Structure 1
Amino acid sequence: MPNKDFLIQLAHTKMPYGKYKDRYLIDLPEYYIVWYHSKGFPKGKLGDMLNQVYELKLNGLEDMVRTIQKQYSK
């Protein structure tokens, strides 16, 4: 289970490149996250976050991240 700080950071992180650049990671289309899962997530923190987004979407927990976005708005 990720820690609170990681989830807060994940909630406010946007995709840094590609077709979905500047979209919050939690708002990336499910098919895109599944594609990354099958292809392999990038190395480093972005990959860790995308993997967590995959797990959250898989378990229907996207609203938890959206709640965090509202509670901890920057």
Structure 2
Amino acid sequence: MDSEQLQRLVTVTMPFGKHQGTVIADLPGNYLNWFAREGFPKTDIGRLLALMHEIDHNGLSDLLKPLRPGAGPRR
């Protein structure tokens, strides 16, 4: 996992489905769990969804807050 991929989680939006237009980092856990059960797409979006699932599943979503656009400088 690299910082570029983490940054993409807070900027890239879901391109299809029920949550189309939602930033990947804002997708609900149950939606990410569904992909984990059914299989992530074999695409770049699928890799981001899998990464977000791992972050969400392990309770680490707050680590993305400083990366969000407009979050301001770290102190």
Alignment TM-score, normalising by the size of structure 1: 0.86
Aligned residues: 71
* C-alpha RMSD over aligned residues: 1.5
Counterpart check, 1:3 vs 2:8: no
Residue 58 of structure 2 corresponds to which residue in structure 1? 59
Considering fraction of residues, name the structure with more helix.
1
**Per-residue CA distance 1:12-57 (angstroms, 9 max, x = gap):** 1110111101111111111110010000000121010000000000
User: What is the letter of the counterpart of residue 14 of structure 1?
Assistant: T
Structure 1: runs of 5 or more not aligned: none
CA drift at 1:66: 2.5
Output the TM-score relative to the length of structure 2. 0.85
Select the structure of larger CA radius of gyration.
Answer: 2
CA distance in 1 between counterparts of 2:42 and 2:72 reads: 29
| Whole-angstrom distance in 2 between the partners of 1:52 and 1:71 | 24
2:25 match: 26
- List 4+ stretches of structure 1 deviating above 2 A: none
